[in-house]
Chain A
Amino acid sequence: MSSLPVPPNSCLLAILLLTKYQYDPQIVFHYPPRPGEDDSKLHKYLRDFEGAESSSSNEDSTTSADDQDVEANSGVKPNKIQPHDLEVDETGSASPDKRNGIETPREHSNWGEIFGHNPHFLAKLLCPAKSGHKKRFEVSVNDKVFLGRPAFANEDGEWRKRKRKTGGGNDERQGDPESIQMPVKTSVQTTQDLSETSGLGSDSDNQEDGISNETLTIKQPAKDKANELQQRAKHRKIRRKDNLSMFQVVFIMAPPPLEYQLRVGEMYDYVVKKFSRALKWEQARSSLVSREGLMLARLTNSFGGRLSGILVGTLVKLACLTLLGPNPPLASLYHELLKNSNVARAIANVYSSISNCRIAQISLTPDLSLSLKIPVPTSTAVLPNLISHQLPGLWLTTATSIPLEDGAHFSSSQLASHFALLLLSDLPSILADVQSTDSPLAEHLADYLNVSKPTKSFLQISQSSGIALSDIQHIASHLIYWRRAAAIPPLHQRDIYIMSPNADMSKLASASAHFAKLYPALPPLPKILSLLSSTPRPYSTLIPSKDHKEAYMGILAWLFRYGWVTQLRTFAWIRVPPHILKSVAGGPAHGRNGSKESDPSTSDNATHLHVPNLASSPSSSTQSSTHTAVPISSSSPPTSPILVPRPLHPTTAASAYLAAMSAHVLFTQGEEARDGWEKCVKYFDGKHALETIAIREGWKRKKVGDLVAGWEGMGFLRRVRHW
C-alpha cells in the first residue's frame, strides 16, 4: 500500500540569515520581525510592501489557485500595491509616522530574543564547524528545529574556486562545483525566452516531466568579458574588505513529533538546499551576501545607534530601540531593510510563501531568479479508511501513476501527450492573470487556454489548433507547476464517472451554491451527484440530449476540478477457464466448448454480456457467459479457473495456457482477434486501465470494446472497475 498523503503544512516559524565576518557570527536579518508572536498587523503591512516589490519583478501570478480560494474564503485579499503607489510610498511619504497603524506592544520584555534565546548566543550555537560546509545542518532546541546549509569561504577567503576552465561568460558556472542546476532545456529556445519574462514566473524550463521542482533561471546577458572581469575585480576588492567567512540561512520550524522527519526532510530538500545554493552561487559571482549582510547590519545598527552605544548584537539593540522608541521603529526598520536588500526581500518572500504553502518566486539579482515550493499531493490512489489520516477532496485515481513494469514500452512523455489539461480555477481569472503580466508569453498562453479543453488531449489540441505539441506541453507543464492546472486523462462521455469516495462532503453546501450560480439552467449539484452515484454507467447516459452535451461536459470538468467525481477505470486479468486447463493438461480439447451446459450458479444474464460496447455493459463483470461456460463447480481443483498474475512474464505453465488461449481465440474468432489478443495480453495484468489500450495501440475505442467484451464472454477475462 502506498503511503497516504499528508496535508500540506510547512511548520515554518521564521528564517534567519547568519553571517560571520572576521569575528563572531551574527544574525543580520530575520523574518518575520517578531518570530513566534502574533504580528499580523506588522506582517500585513510588510507583506504589502513585499507584494509591491515582487510584483515589480513579475511575480504577480505566483499565488496559486488554491491560495486564491483561501483568500477568497477568508475575505482577505492581499492588497498589492501598484507600482505607482509604491513610488509615492518610497519617495514622498515613507516616514514611519505614516504607518501608525502598526503599534508596537510595549509589554514585551523579552524583545529581541528569538524564541527566548539571546540572538548573540543563538548565532554562536548556529555557527557550525567548517566540516559542515555544504552539509545539512540540523539542530533542535526543545521543539524548534534550526535547519540550514552553511557555506564557507575558501581557505584564502575567496568564494570562488581558483580552478577555472577557459571560456566565455560561462566559466563561473563551471568554476563552482556545485553550480546550480541550470535550465537543462535546450530545445525550444523561443519558448524559454518567453517563459523567462512571462508573468507566470521564469521557470518552467526543467518542468517538462513535472518531477524536478527546482526552477531556476539565470539570464546571462551578453556581457562583455572585459566588463565582467572588471566587475569581478571590483567585487574582489569588496570581498577583501569585508571578509565574509561563513553564511547560513537558517529555517526555524516546529514540526509535530510524528511528522518530524517528513517535514524537516521536505523543507531541506525543496527549500533550504535550493535557496542556500542560489545564495552561495550568487555570493561567488557577485558577493551578494557579503555586501548585503554588511548593509543589513549597518542599517540595523544605525537604527539602534542613536540609543545604544554598546555593540551587543543587532537584535538586542533592536530590542532596546523598540522598547524605548516613540514610533514604531521596527516597522520602519523592516521597511528600510526590505527596500534596500534583495536578500532580505527574498527571505521575507520565501517565509510568507512557504509558510502559507505557496510557491515562492524570488529574484536575488536581476540575473538570478528562482522559485521554491514544497510539493503538495495532487492525487492519491489510496482511499483512507476510518482510522487513517483523511485528506478529503483529493483526486482519487491511479491514472497518475504509470505502472513501473510497463510492458508496452511506452515512454511517459508519449503517454503524456494523451493527457488533457484541467484548469483548477476558472478560465477568465487565469486569463486575467496572464494578461495582466503583459509578457510576450501571455499571448501564447491565452491562445492555448482558449483552445484547451479537458476533453481533448494535448495531441488532439495540437492537431486541431496548429500549436506545436512541444509548446503545448511546455505551457501545460508551466500551468501545472504553478498549480493552476492538472493533467488528467481526457474526459470522455463514454467513460464512467462516479462520485468520488474521497469527496469532501463538508463543502457540499457551499459547492452547491457555487454550482447553482454557474449553471443556473441545469439540475442542482446534489441531483447531479445523485445521478453519478448510482450504478456506474457511461457519463453519456446522464446527458438528456445532444444539445446538452457541451454543458454537461463542462459540469464534468467542474466536478473533477473540485474532486467531486473520479473516473472508474477498468482493469482486467486473464482468466484461464477450465477447458483450457484441461486441454493443456491432456492434449487438444477444442471440441469440449459449448458442449457443456451452463452451471446455474455461474450463468448470468447473458443479454448484458453480449453488448459489444465495453463501457456500456457494467454487469458483465459478474460472471462468465453461457456460451462457453463450463461448470465452475467448486469441486475439482484442477479444473477450477485460475487468474494469470503477470502475463508479461508468465510462468512456464501460464505461458502454455496463454498459448492455448491464443490458439482458441484464433479458432473461434479469427486471425484479427488473435492478433488483438496477442497485443492486449500485456495489458491484462490488473495495472493497466483498459481505457488506455485504444490510445496506446492506436485503435478505435469501439474495437477495443468489442474485443474485450468478446473475450470476457468467453470467460478469458475477469474485469474490475476502480479508480
Chain B
Amino acid sequence: MLQYIIRRILIAIPVLFGVTVLNFLIINLAPGNPVDMMVNPSATPAQLAATKHALGLDQPVWVQYWNWLVQLLHGNLGFSYSTREPVTQILMAHVGPTVLLMGVSLIVGYLIAIPLGIICARKQNSWIDYIVTGFSFFGISVPHFFLGLGVIYVFASKLLWFPTGSMNTLGGDGSFIDTFNHLVLPVLVLATGIGGNMVRYVRSSMLDVLGKDYLRTAKAKGLSQFLITNKHALRNSLIPIITVIGIDIPLLIGGAIVTEQVFQWPGLGLLTIQSITSRDYSTLMAINLLAACTVLFANLLTDILYAVADPRIRYD
C-alpha cells in the first residue's frame, strides 16, 4: 500500500508539470496583458514598454515559463501584477473562506443526501421516493447563479432574514454567529446541487445492493432491518459514494466560482474572476496549480478509500 502511494505521488509530478505548461500557454493566448490592465491609461507607449521589460513580459513565452518554473522550485509563487502583494499571501487569505464555504456545503449536502438516498432505495417507488428524486433533479438542474439570485431575493431582500452577501458584516466583530448568518444562503445554494447529485448515486447504488443474496442471509440470521440496511447494505454501496466524494473534493478549492461571485464571498472563486479580468498571470497560475494538486490528491484519496471500503480491492 505504502509503495502504491509513493508510486502515485511520483506519477503526479509529470502530470503537474504538464498542467502548468498548458495553463501558462492558455493564459498567454488570452488577449491583453497585465500591463494594459494595471497602468494609468495616459501612460506613453515608452512607459508601457519599460514596465513590460521590467516585469519580463517582453520575453518569449517559453522564457517566461522557465523563469516562473525556476522561481516555483525555489518556493516562490511570485507577486501579484495588480496588487503587488506576494501571491502566497493572497492565496492564504482566500483559501480559508472557500474551504469554509465548500466544506460546510459538502457536509450539509452529504448529511442530508445520504440518509435520503438510503430511504429512497428502501422505499422505491413510494411517494417519498418520488418527492426526493424530484427535488434532486431540481438541485442538479437549476444553475447556481439563478438559485443564488432567487434565495437572495426571497430570504435577503424580501424577508430580511439573512445578509445578501460577503462573509462578515462590514465593521462588525467577525464573530461566529455573524459568519454563520452569512454562510446560510450560499451553503443552501451549494448544498442543493451537491446533495441532489449525491442522492441519485446513493439511491441507485443501494438499489443495486438491496437485492443481493447476502442481505437475505443477514435477514435469515434474525438481524434487524436497521442493521441489515446500515451495516450490511450500506458498506457494499460505498464505492459509488466514494467516487462522488472524490469528484466533489476538488470543489473545495474551485467549486464555487459562480456562487462566490453572486454572494461576493471573499474566496478563491472571487479571486479567480478578479485575476482573470486583470490578467494577473502569477495569481492565476498559483490558483491553477493549487486546483491541480487538489484533484490529484482527491484521486489518490479515492483510490485508497476504495481499498478500505472493499477488501477485494488491493494495490500490490
Partners in one complex: no
**A residues at B contact (CB < 8 Å):** none
**B residues at A contact (CB < 8 Å):** none
